[in-house]
Amino acid sequence: MLSLKQQRLLASYLLNLQRGERFVFETMIADIHRLADLGAYELATDVFVALCIFMRDRPRFSAYGRRNRAFRSLYGKRSMRALDSHLIANGARRTADSIRP
C-alpha cells in the first residue's frame, strides 16, 4: 500500500507523461541519485517506490529500465532486495511492502 506521500510523488511525476515515459523514468532516476547524495534517504526511498510502481504498471517499459545504466547504478551488481536493505540501513522505510499490487 502506497503512503499518501508516495501517491503524491507518483502523481507529480505522471504529470510529465506528455514528455514521454522515458523522460519520466530518467527524471525519477536522477532525483533518486540526487536525494541519496544529499543524504535524504527517506525521500529517495519514496521516489524509488514510485519508480517501481511506474515500471510495474508499464511492462513493456520495465525491460528498458532494467537495461538502463542509470537504473542499474542504483543497486550496482546487487539485487533489488539488497538495495532495499541498503536504504533501510540508512534510515529509510522498507520498499517491498509498498510495491505489491
> Which is higher by pLDDT, 77 or 74?
74
For the segment 60-71, what is each residue's pLDDT rounded down to a tens digit? 776 676 667 666
Torsion on CA atoms 45, 47, 50, 56, rounded to nearest 10: -80
| C-alpha cell, 70 | 542509470
Helices (H) and strands (E) in the chain, counts: 7, 0
What confidence score (pLDDT) does residue 74 get? Answer: 66
Domain extents in the chain: 4-99
Q: Residue 6: pLDDT above 60?
A: yes
